[in-house]
Amino acid sequence: MPLTDDQIAEIAELRAHPQPTLRATAPGMEKHLYLAHDVLDHGFVRVVDYMGDDSAIVQAARVSYGAGTKKSRDDSGLIRYLMRHWHSTPFEMCEIKLHVKLPVFVARQWIRHRTANVNEYSARYSILDREFYIPAPEHLAAQSTVNNQGRGDVLEGDEAARVLEILKADSTRAYDSYEAMLSQDGQQGLARELARMNLPANIYTQWYWKVDLHNLFHFLRLRADAHAQYEIRIYAETICRIVADWVPAAYAAFEDYRLGGATLSGKALECVKRKLAGEAVTQETSGMSKGEWREFEALLGQTPR
Amino acid sequence: MPLTDDQIAEIAELRAHPQPTLRATAPGMEKHLYLAHDVLDHGFVRVVDYMGDDSAIVQAARVSYGAGTKKSRDDSGLIRYLMRHWHSTPFEMCEIKLHVKLPVFVARQWIRHRTANVNEYSARYSILDREFYIPAPEHLAAQSTVNNQGRGDVLEGDEAARVLEILKADSTRAYDSYEAMLSQDGQQGLARELARMNLPANIYTQWYWKVDLHNLFHFLRLRADAHAQYEIRIYAETICRIVADWVPAAYAAFEDYRLGGATLSGKALECVKRKLAGEAVTQETSGMSKGEWREFEALLGQTPR
Amino acid sequence: MPLTDDQIAEIAELRAHPQPTLRATAPGMEKHLYLAHDVLDHGFVRVVDYMGDDSAIVQAARVSYGAGTKKSRDDSGLIRYLMRHWHSTPFEMCEIKLHVKLPVFVARQWIRHRTANVNEYSARYSILDREFYIPAPEHLAAQSTVNNQGRGDVLEGDEAARVLEILKADSTRAYDSYEAMLSQDGQQGLARELARMNLPANIYTQWYWKVDLHNLFHFLRLRADAHAQYEIRIYAETICRIVADWVPAAYAAFEDYRLGGATLSGKALECVKRKLAGEAVTQETSGMSKGEWREFEALLGQTPR
Amino acid sequence: MPLTDDQIAEIAELRAHPQPTLRATAPGMEKHLYLAHDVLDHGFVRVVDYMGDDSAIVQAARVSYGAGTKKSRDDSGLIRYLMRHWHSTPFEMCEIKLHVKLPVFVARQWIRHRTANVNEYSARYSILDREFYIPAPEHLAAQSTVNNQGRGDVLEGDEAARVLEILKADSTRAYDSYEAMLSQDGQQGLARELARMNLPANIYTQWYWKVDLHNLFHFLRLRADAHAQYEIRIYAETICRIVADWVPAAYAAFEDYRLGGATLSGKALECVKRKLAGEAVTQETSGMSKGEWREFEALLGQTPR
């Protein structure tokens, strides 16, 4: 349970006093505000603020396209059209601010998405808590033998036990050392900005992360993908559920066109046409490399991947 | 008066139905929401949405610096500290969305600020209105004789009359031609995306512009500056007044450190020290060029610029 | 012919003195350096500088993925893999700087791509030349009757003649007025920053535009697309040919995966599978709207669009 | 010595074959290309590529301001003018690509500068080397007692020895564990993307980092500042020396206006004027807080900080 009693009380207080506003409000989002969605063993995602809703997307599109659009299309159809044709600017008109607690190695992947605003807890200024990510047994996976950048089977028995033992023991020792170096008991105490270097990448950090809906969708497409590392994917999936409550029409379009969709190359498109015309296309006649052909067949569900 | 009756009714409707929200609200901003602030002869600035308030800046800073900051400093002092030391990320946690109507030549300057989200009215898709910026007589200025990029005295008499006459006549003619080319009366009508090329840069366009507070301050510092062209400065000054109501503490810090402040070079700083030590520094002994020295003297108010 | 004799001499001079460098050089690009590729009636695209080549993309990918990649895959295969899997950062390691002369209404579309560096000729500071885009007769198109944002048939006969007459006469008049207002002959002369507002959107401007290869591909995908307005597409196509000479492997991957490829929604992908399984899918049973179904059929080449 | 023999041979090979180019070349930069500048105990900075030189800045400014600028001002004076008046876009026309090896906790600070392109070594894909930053004794500083975010005196004697002992032992143990978990000797071996979480923040990583000169100056102003943490400042200082060789005029302007300069608030400026007029201003009569007044006095060199 990642929240302290103080934090729970603070959240209750924040949720106790609705204020009137003239801004667009998203009822589906109000119910999430401030509440912590648990992720991993000590992490969470909390919505701290949001701007806009499905209508804000439509409204921005109509500034661009003028009044004519008003009659011809309902909101959800217009949102699908915008998504299908890569009209990204109307989606940028919505904004979300999240408070996220996450292991450092997840934060390091996350921050590669540069088009966002971030305020991270400073271990130069303050002391980090003794909280480390230790994978649940079902997520302790072996290195994949076919993909350098992936996981294989779940570890079992002694090997799993040994890994958990190492992760726990090393975390404990690293944090004990951190405290010992910082201590001002009978000594000066090492500067925080130096002591932090002893802490491993499974320690938890936290940040405020603010991003517009277009860039959030880009993040979610990459990080909620089956090939993303589990430990960041679980954050992305949590955020997906929140976004589905916030902007249901935009999320449905995103799900169909991005998460559930696929990009075909010119060669792949040509092969689809030839197959539909009844031709028996093979890798050799496809013009694709073996790797591409394997991915193509998997996409069409004709060969298990 | 830049708004139609329909628009006025729409704004009244939008302002008539406050909704409860759990988000941070800024009472000073609620009073501005949706209302049009007139700018130039047909332009306006309207706040369409906002996220955050002074407390959101403080809250983000405290995520970074930890609980220790809570006791030692009041909010406004912390905000001044952040501004003074160029800690920009907490200011990025506030966001504003404006609806702006503005002449095209102003829009072309404005868009150079790239860190913002924009949805502009599309003259490819829709037909522009017959609305042109014609300067008020007191803003009809001559070319500066000392600054290539500036204005001199206000034009007077015949010359002013001639300029106004030209601007009005050419605008009218350009728009008449635009309509004539678009017309489908007895002809096919030229494509909108082509016809628009005949319209001059004083025609009005409009857009939704969304930006975070840090980048907005950067825009305002450059565009509310005395050297900015009047026609964009008047928009910046209008936005300044809105921001002062939205985040009063942040705006006060911005006013003191950015709008009212100045950057001294190493050489200029050295000259200040020498002057304070009683030395009679001259341009020749300052190490500065004539242009720099002139700006330096003007800054210290010792020689009228 | 858009260049003056002075400019031609300057380019010859720039091309006359190769210097030795230890940097990666792209022979295919050296031959383009500084030369003007004519676009439209007075415009051009010139390569002013570039950084990197195909190998620079591969090298950056190998920093990320370590030495292991070296043996397993040739450069061109790796570049295709990166493009297919949306690994965009290696493509960001190449950079190009262009000098572009273009009509203002094209510049206004172009600038919406924000992730680039721009220095535009300042009509606040300097006086623009008397050069206007007048479409060739074969590009004088009527408004599309099916697409608000598109062109229909080419205008013919009297209508075409009338349009050309208007565009020429109005451009001439607007520029005459611009000169009359600026003139300091017997009058003060209006400030340049004001006089420019009388100039129509078909006047030419110019800028230096610097962008990384990933963002350039994004620009080219949207602007070299058949739905882009002809007047910007012709610039994009010119740049495509330059990029093909600069980074041939990356451009080939871009052509196959982006220009020639297509994105299918989850619904569309499902329909492809059903069709391949022999089912006769119709719009009614597809789950798609009429518009989506029309685009889907066109993509598979089964119904002419 | 951070480079292997293979790497040294590779660099020698890269430096052995100059190619002719028509691009702008900076002789001061050619001498740095590919060579590693040692930083900290195992880190380095290497220039991998660059675009532009001082003339490229001037050239871009002259696109904006037209031919008139050519006569009135020499290049270095124009560059100083641009820097003084915050004209940032001409500086964006130069670009640099660095290969940097650095401890993870330094990389985490560095990456907060978002306007850059990055390709980092992937510990998901590859195995990190056993290289850890262990501070030299003279950089083992105590926590500052006056500044939460700073260092005090250097640790001495037993305390210093204890800290070094801890850092070395914990690094060794963490890496031993990393290897033990990865090992496929008699076991499956944990996935790399999981095993990496055991590694502390003083392990070295490496990346390609590409940035334009304007954003690089912004980075250097913040990170070469006396208040920056030593371990990132030493990288910034190394880059400063490289940039001084690359664009000497731009670097000199940066040094005077940014590194050596200071920003005064409106209040501070007023106090300078009052002092110059002979008034004995005190904190009480200054309108500044105690903290601001302390910084102001330190800036004028009248009270040691």
Among the partner residues C266, C275, C302, nearest to A261 by beta-carbon distance: C266
Between β-strands D204-212 and D95-103, what pairing exists: parallel, antiparallel or unpaired?
A: antiparallel
- In-domain check, residue C123: yes
Contact predicate C1/C40, CB 8 Å: no
Residues A52 and A165 in one domain: no
Query: Which one of A210, A214, A215 makes the best mutation probe of the B interface by having the most chain B beta carbons within 10 Å?
Result: A210
How far apart CA A236 and CA A242 sit, in angstroms, is: 10
Contact predicate D42/D204, CB 8 Å: yes
Strands (E), chain B: 19-21, 36-39, 43-51, 95-103, 117-120, 141-143, 151-154, 204-212, 262-264
The answer to whether the CB atoms of C222 and A257 lie below 8 A apart is no
Give per-residue pLDDT as tens, D283-292: 999 999 998 9
ipTM: 0.93
How far apart CA D197 and CA A277 sit, in angstroms, is: 51
Residues B62 and B171 in one domain: no
CB atoms under 10 Å from CB of B85, counted, come to 13
Residues C154 and C43 in one domain: no
Give per-residue pLDDT as tens, B170-224: 999 999 999 999 999 999 999 999 999 999 999 999 999 999 999 999 999 999 9
CB atoms under 10 Å from CB of B246, counted, come to 24
Residue C281, helix vs strand vs coil: coil
The pLDDT value given to residue A58: 94
Give per-residue pLDDT as tens, A13-37: 999 999 999 999 999 999 999 999 9
First to last CA, chain B: 38
* A65 touching chain C per CB within 8 A: yes
Closest to D25 (Cα-Cα) out of C26, C11, C20, C55: C20
- In-domain check, residue C304: no
Residue B20, helix vs strand vs coil: strand
How far apart CA D151 and CA C240 sit, in angstroms, is: 54
Among the partner residues D21, D60, D121, nearest to C66 by beta-carbon distance: D121
Average pLDDT in the A65-79 region? 69
Residues B213 and B107 in one domain: yes
How far apart CA D93 and CA C116 sit, in angstroms, is: 10
Residues C190 and C85 in one domain: no
- Closest chain A CA to residue B129: A66
Lowest mean pLDDT among A73-77, A195-199, D44-48: A73-77
Give per-residue pLDDT as tens, B279-299: 999 999 999 999 899 999 999
With a pLDDT cut of 90, the percent of chain D lying above it is 87
What integer best gives the mean pLDDT of chain B?
93
Residues D29 and D158 in one domain: no
Residue-level length of chain D: 305
Angle among Cα C63, C66, C69 to the nearest 5 degrees reads: 110
Give per-residue pLDDT as tens, A248-303: 999 999 999 999 999 999 999 999 999 999 999 999 999 999 989 999 999 998 64
Residues D89 and D18 in one domain: yes
Between β-strands B19-21 and A19-21, what pairing exists: parallel, antiparallel or unpaired?
A: antiparallel
| Count of structural domains, chain D | 3
Query: What are A35's strand-pairing partners?
Result: none
How far apart CA A270 and CA B202 sit, in angstroms, is: 49
Residues D37 and D11 in one domain: yes
Measured between alpha carbons, how far is residue B171 from residues B12, B159, C43, C135, D108 in Å? 33, 18, 26, 22, 55
How far apart CA B188 and CA B215 sit, in angstroms, is: 46
Interface size, chain C vs chain D, as Cβ–Cβ contacts under 8 Å: 148
To the nearest whole Å, the CA of A284 is away from the closest chain D CA by: 30
Residues C149 and C287 in one domain: no
How far apart CA A148 and CA A144 sit, in angstroms, is: 7
Lowest mean pLDDT among B70-84, C195-209, C258-272: B70-84
Closest to D124 (Cα-Cα) out of A132, A165, C61, A151: A151
What integer best gives the mean pLDDT of chain D?
93
The alpha carbon of C75 is separated from its chain's Cα centroid by a whole number of angstroms, namely: 27
Between β-strands B95-103 and B204-212, what pairing exists: parallel, antiparallel or unpaired?
A: antiparallel
- In-domain check, residue D305: no
Give per-residue pLDDT as tens, C19-55: 999 999 999 999 999 999 999 999 999 999 999 999 9
How far apart CA C71 and CA C146 sit, in angstroms, is: 53
DSSP-H helix ranges across D117-204: 157-182, 192-195
Average pLDDT in the D154-176 region? 96
Q: Check A46, A80, A223, A258 and give the catalytic one.
A: A223
- With contacts defined as CB-CB under 8 Å, which chain C residues touch A68? 148
- In-domain check, residue C167: yes
- In-domain check, residue A44: yes
The answer to whether the CB atoms of D191 and A151 lie below 8 A apart is yes
Confidence at C145, pLDDT banded by 50, 70, 90? confident
Give per-residue pLDDT as tens, C233-260: 999 999 999 999 999 999 999 999 999 9
Kindly report the pTM of this predicted structure.
0.95
How far apart CA D76 and CA D70 sit, in angstroms, is: 12
The answer to whether the CB atoms of A20 and B18 lie below 8 A apart is yes
* Residue A287 domain boundaries: 266-299
How far apart CA B210 and CA D95 sit, in angstroms, is: 29
- In-domain check, residue B304: no
Among the partner residues B21, B34, B67, nearest to A25 by beta-carbon distance: B21
B16-39 residues labelled b (16+ CB within 10 A) or e (exposed): eeeeebbbbbbebbbebbbbbbeb
Closest to C264 (Cα-Cα) out of C226, C305, C296: C296
Measured between alpha carbons, how far is residue D196 from residues A138, A144, A160, C62, D133 in Å? 18, 15, 16, 19, 17
Residues C189 and C242 in one domain: no
How far apart CA D287 and CA A61 sit, in angstroms, is: 48
How far apart CA D112 and CA A114 sit, in angstroms, is: 9
Angle among Cα B299, B301, B304 to the nearest 5 degrees reads: 100
Query: Which one of B114, B194, B209 makes the best mutation probe of the C interface by having the most chain C beta carbons within 10 Å?
Result: B194
- In-domain check, residue D304: no
How far apart CA D298 and CA C251 sit, in angstroms, is: 56
Among the partner residues C222, C263, C267, nearest to A263 by beta-carbon distance: C263
The answer to whether the CB atoms of D300 and B273 lie below 8 A apart is yes
* A297 touching chain C per CB within 8 A: no
With a pLDDT cut of 90, the percent of chain A lying above it is 87
To the nearest whole Å, the CA of A173 is away from the closest chain C CA by: 30
Residues C190 and C152 in one domain: yes
Closest to A66 (Cα-Cα) out of B191, B119, C203: B119
Contact predicate A52/A24, CB 8 Å: yes
How far apart CA D231 and CA D107 sit, in angstroms, is: 10
How far apart CA A121 and CA C204 sit, in angstroms, is: 50
The pLDDT value given to residue B66: 62
Could you say which of D200, D217, D232 is where a domain stops? D200
CB atoms under 10 Å from CB of B259, counted, come to 15
Give per-residue pLDDT as tens, C260-271: 999 999 999 999
* C99 touching chain D per CB within 8 A: yes
- Closest chain C CA to residue D17: C22
Measured between alpha carbons, how far is residue A32 from residues A43, A48, A216, A239 in Å? 16, 9, 17, 11
One-letter identity of residue C270? E
B1 has a pLDDT exceeding 90: no
Residues A34 and A149 in one domain: no
Closest to B127 (Cα-Cα) out of B188, B58, B175, B69: B175
Could you say which of B199, B215, B232 is where a domain stops? B199
Neighbour subunits, C (≥3 Cβ pairs < 8 A) = A, B, D
**DSSP class of D186:** S
Closest to A206 (Cα-Cα) out of A9, A11, A48, A49: A48
Query: What are C203's strand-pairing partners?
Result: C132
B69 has a pLDDT exceeding 60: no
Closest to D154 (Cα-Cα) out of D141, D168, D172, D169: D141
C304 has a pLDDT exceeding 90: no
D304 has a pLDDT exceeding 80: no
- In-domain check, residue A34: yes
How far apart CA A189 and CA C220 sit, in angstroms, is: 57
What integer best gives the mean pLDDT of chain C?
93
Average pLDDT in the A213-233 region? 96
- With contacts defined as CB-CB under 8 Å, which chain A residues touch D133? 197
Check which CATH number belongs to the domain holding D244 and give it. Answer: 3.30.1360.170
